[in-house]
């Protein structure tokens, strides 16, 4: 059962690393800026229909930061819970299934809206999660 535990931790570590890189890029690089300077200028003065309390640029930064922290949270919590409480999860499949569905959704998002590196990363994470869960089911 140790292989299942390590696969789960590996899948979670990938999510943590991807989320951390994404957060770093959001605040400490221009990687998520448009090459079109005019678009950036427009985003900084444009407001969403919902409210004038923010700009599209601030929303863009906020969405990227919250997306990063979500991936980091999933990674950190799963690493901790797998390292400390893995035997408990073997008797309750909700934890495994909920995470697999969540990461599966990330794979779909990555394929449809993102680019190859996050798509490959979350796909590998999903494979690790699925393999770990199958090992639990078999034993």
pLDDT in tens, 35-69: 999 999 999 999 999 999 999 999 999 999 999 99
- pLDDT bin (cut points 50, 70, 90) of residue 139 is confident
Look at residue 84 and tell me if it is in a domain: yes
How do residues 70-85 score in pLDDT, each as one tens digit?
A: 999 999 999 999 999 9
CA–CA distance, 37 with 80 (Å, rounded to integer): 42
pLDDT bracket for residue 92 (50, 70, 90):
confident
Task: Tell me whether residue 76 is in a domain.
Answer: yes
| C-alpha distances out from residue 56 to 51, 65, 66, 70, 89, Å | 10, 14, 15, 21, 42
Query: Measured between alpha carbons, how far is 25 from 29 in angstroms, rounded to an integer?
Result: 5
CA atoms of 75 and 15, how far apart (whole Å) = 5
Asked whether the beta carbons of 20 and 68 are under 8 A apart, the reply is yes
Residue 131 domain-assigned (yes or no): yes
1-33 core/surface letters (b: 16 or more CB in 10 A; e: else)? eeebbebbbbbbbbbbebbbbbbeebeeeeeee
* Assigned domain for 80 exists: yes
Q: Please check the confidence at residue 124 and state whether its pLDDT lies above 90.
A: yes
pTM here? 0.93
Question: How many domains, in total, are found in the chain?
Answer: 1
Residue at 29 is within a domain: yes
Q: How many residues are there in the chain? A: 139
69 found inside a domain: yes
Q: How far is it, in rounded angstroms, from Cα 89 to Cα 33?
A: 41
Task: Calculate mean pLDDT across residues 93-102.
Answer: 95
The predicted structure's pLDDT at residue 35: 94
Average pLDDT over every residue of 12-34: 97
In a domain, 133, yes or no: yes
Average pLDDT, the chain: 95
Report the 10 Å Cβ neighbour count for 40: 15
Give residue 78's domain range: 2-34+65-138
């Amino acid at each position: 059962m140790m292989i299942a535990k390590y696969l789960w931790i590996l899948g979670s570590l990938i999510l943590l690393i991807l989320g951390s890189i994404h957060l770093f890029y959001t605040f400490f690089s221009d990687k998520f800026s448009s090459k079109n300077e005019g678009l950036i200028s427009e985003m900084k003065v444009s407001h969403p229909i919902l409210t004038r309390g923010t700009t599209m640029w601030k929303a863009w930064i906020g969405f990227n930061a919250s997306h990063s922290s979500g991936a980091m949270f999933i990674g950190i919590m799963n690493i901790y819970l797998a390292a400390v409480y893995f035997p408990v999860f073997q008797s309750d499949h909700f934890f495994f299934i909920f995470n697999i569905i969540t990461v599966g959704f990330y794979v779909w998002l990555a394929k449809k809206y993102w680019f190859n590196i996050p798509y490959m990363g979350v796909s590998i994470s999903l494979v690790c999660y699925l393999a770990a869960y199958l090992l639990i089911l078999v034993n």
